[in-house]
Amino acid sequence: MSSNYVLDDLKYVVERLRDPQTGCPWDTQQNFESLQDYLLEEVYEVIDAISSKNFIGLKEELGDLLFQIIFLAQIGQERGLFDFDKVVDGLTKKLIDRHPHVFPNGSLTAIPSGQNKIPSSKLMDDWERKKIKKRQESGLQSVLDDVPNAMPALMRAGKLQKRASLLGLDWSNSENVLNKISEELDELKSEIEFSDSKSISMELGDLLFSCVNLARKLSVDPEKSLRQSNEKFSNRVKYIESLADFGKLKAMSAEKLNALWDNAKKNEDYYS
């Protein structure tokens, strides 16, 4: 017997957990819908482990994420929809199809000659063309139809913009996007003066959407960029908290708090 459990063992564990007679009462009650929040939580915990370079924790978080995937596949099997092997089969076929430069003639075992190196830009173009063809074969009418509605808004904005650019609906350069941001900012200021909360929300959304567009044109990941700013802000607040307790900070004047904030900015090497 192997000293380490393997994938089949994990699949068996999930089957046992789901057994109506001898399984876990909580696990047997779960369905596709009830697992959505847990799945999302595990994805965020994986991202957090990577961001914090906690690679020991990453191993555990990847396991938790894998459990969710196998759990969902088990429910699919119980409903006669698909099983884990079908998931693996579909994924493998898709990866082979998308990488003809690695798997010649669509063969899993074939080795490329290495004589014809394909630029990354051409690979991306080929992938997009294949995706467009697949969308058409699936009966999707728009290049936007399969962009998930549940995707985080910041990420979805970038995805929508990238898809629209395939039709030529795009800014020619970052300077034009900067001008658009200035225009959106002016419109937001105007709505703020009228105190129309609905219009303010719409204009603020337009401003954020334009900022995502700028990030895309500058080849910057807006989600990563914002996470970095979140981390920087958190570190500055924690630094200030180390200088005075909650009560003293609460009683400080705005001028003193600004001075502490400037001090935190100067000492970022201390807590980074």
Q: Which amino acid is at 122?
A: K
Q: Output the pLDDT for position 30.
A: 97
Q: Output the pLDDT for position 58.
A: 97
Write the DSSP assignment of 34-64 as a string of letters. TTHHHHHHHHHHHHHHHHTT-HHHHHHHHHH
Q: Output the pLDDT for position 139.
A: 80
Rg, Å, the chain Cα set? 25
The alpha carbon of 6 is separated from its chain's Cα centroid by a whole number of angstroms, namely 28
Q: What is the pLDDT of residues 229-267, one digit of tens each?
A: 999 999 999 999 998 899 999 999 999 999 999 999 888
Selection from 69, 70, 35, 62 nearest residue 46 by Cα: 62
Least confident of 63-67, 204-208, 257-261: 257-261
How far is it, in rounded angstroms, from Cα 20 to Cα 25? 8
pLDDT at 13 over 80: yes
Q: What is the pLDDT of residues 33-47, one digit of tens each?
A: 999 999 999 999 999
Joined together, the tokens standing for residue 120 give 């990354």
How far is it, in rounded angstroms, from Cα 46 to Cα 59? 9
At 271, is the pLDDT very low, low, confident or very high (cuts 50, 70, 90)? low
Q: What is the pLDDT of residues 121-147, one digit of tens each?
A: 777 777 777 777 777 788 888 888 888
Question: Domains in the chain, start-ordered, CATH in brackets?
Answer: 7-79 (1.10.287.1080), 143-220 (1.10.287.1080), 223-271 (no CATH)
Task: Supply the mean pLDDT for the chain.
Answer: 91
Joined together, the tokens standing for residue 195 give 């105190």
How far is it, in rounded angstroms, from Cα 84 to Cα 73? 5
- pTM for this model (two decimals): 0.70
